[in-house]
Amino acid sequence: MKKPLDSILFVSEKYSLLPLKVERIPHGLVNETFKIETTSGEKYVLQRLNPIFNESTNEAVRSVTTFLSEKGFLAPSLVLTTDNQISVNFEQRIWRLFTYVEGVVLQKVNSPEIAASAGKMLAKFHSLMHDFEPAALAERSQIHDFNKYFGHLGSVRFRLKKHRLFADMQPLYRRLEYLVDALAPLDVGPNWIVHGDPKISNIMFSEASLEAICLLDFDTVARAPVLLELGDAMRSWCNPLGEDDPTAYFDRDFFQAALAGYQGAISDRYRLFSSQQILLATTQIFLELASRFLSDALEERYFGWDALTYRTRGEHNLVRAESQISGAESVISLLD
């Protein structure tokens, strides 16, 4: 296999680009992402897709971003190759190139104002996507399925009892199991066209004002319950400590600001849920991700991990799981 830089240079040739500077963008758990500056001063974002995605993913992304651009909503756009293809297949992986949007990406929220701005941005996206024809998304799988991931964790625990991290995982599993048993039933309500992964690092902010200027990463856009989308958003936006802190908690002030920002920018007819329903959805998303991280701690696959801080992928995902469990415990304390 070629070295990463050699691969990047080969793929860049398909776009008639000559990179002057290549910088790995570290955030993101799934795709490998690079910022490219060319000899002519242009900037782009180059990605090597995780094998869980395929060419139909790119077709859907192109459909969504083209629609948003036509509506005047800023979004990174796929760049075509010199022979008008939307991607490059190289070494059994799919590569794609996006236009570059100047701004900053945050890993966590540190003020109610940022949470409110994120809420406004997601509301604008949801409002616009009511007019989107979802044909390109028809084959996409359900984004959130708590029962599926919690059930998978049960089978993983049974199958991998001899894993070196099994004993370390057990106390976390017991905390998770208690929360699952205590979780109230949730009616997820109607399906909308949703972003699918509205975490804070998928929102670009102006460096000067820290106002949200666009969304990033449209790989998971699908027709799905909007209530779970809001729960996923609040899970990320209202945790001031981020996803790698085992003492994570849910900030009530951030939640109120984010909810006010969202509701203030969405049409009245789309204000479907109470704050209590959104908090329940947030709890379910915390528990879904905890289930996925615990499974990954034993299976050691899928999610990216921080090799500079953690010895293995499994250790990192145990910390991530504890962070999600702590966040869920914090939300439930607000529901009592």
* Chain center to CA of 23: 21
Residue 25, H or E segment: strand 19-25
pLDDT for the residue 1: 41
pLDDT for the residue 334: 85
Per-residue pLDDT, averaged over 162-177, amounts to 97
The residues spanned by each domain of the chain are 4-101, 105-335
> Is residue 175 helix, strand or coil?
helix
Residue 326 has pLDDT above 70, yes or no: yes
C-alpha span between 205 and 34 (Å, rounded): 19
Domain pair 4-101 / 105-335, same fold: no
| Choice between 1 and 225, residue whose per-residue pLDDT is larger | 225
The percentage of the chain sitting over the pLDDT mark of 70, rounded to a whole number, equals 95
| pTM for the predicted model, two decimal places | 0.92
Residues 6 or more apart whose CB falls under 8 angstroms from that of 164 comprise: 314
Q: DSSP assignment, residue 134? A: G
Per-residue pLDDT tens over the stretch 109-161:
999 999 999 999 999 999 999 999 877 775 555 678 999 999 999 999 999 99
Report the sign of the C-alpha dihedral through residues 28, 33, 226, 205, in that order.
Answer: positive
Cα–Cα distances in angstroms (integers) from residue 106 to residues 84, 121, 210, in the given order = 33, 15, 10
Q: Which two structure tokens, joined as six digits, stand for 2?
A: 């070629």
Instruction: Provide the pLDDT confidence category of residue 29 given band limits of 50, 70 and 90.
Output: low
CB 116 within 8 A of CB 257: yes
The number of C-alpha atoms within 13 Å of 256 and in the hemisphere containing its C-beta is 4
Residue 79 has pLDDT above 50, yes or no: yes
Residue 239 has pLDDT above 70, yes or no: yes
Which among 39, 54, 216 has a CA at the least distance from the CA of 140?
54
From 3.90.1200.10, 2.60.40.1730, 1.10.260.40, 3.40.50.10800, which CATH number describes the 105-335 domain? Answer: 3.90.1200.10
CB 77 within 8 A of CB 69: yes
What is the CA angle 26-282-242, rounded to 5?
Answer: 30
Question: Domain 4-101 sits in which CATH superfamily?
Answer: Phosphorylase Kinase; domain 1 (3.30.200.20)
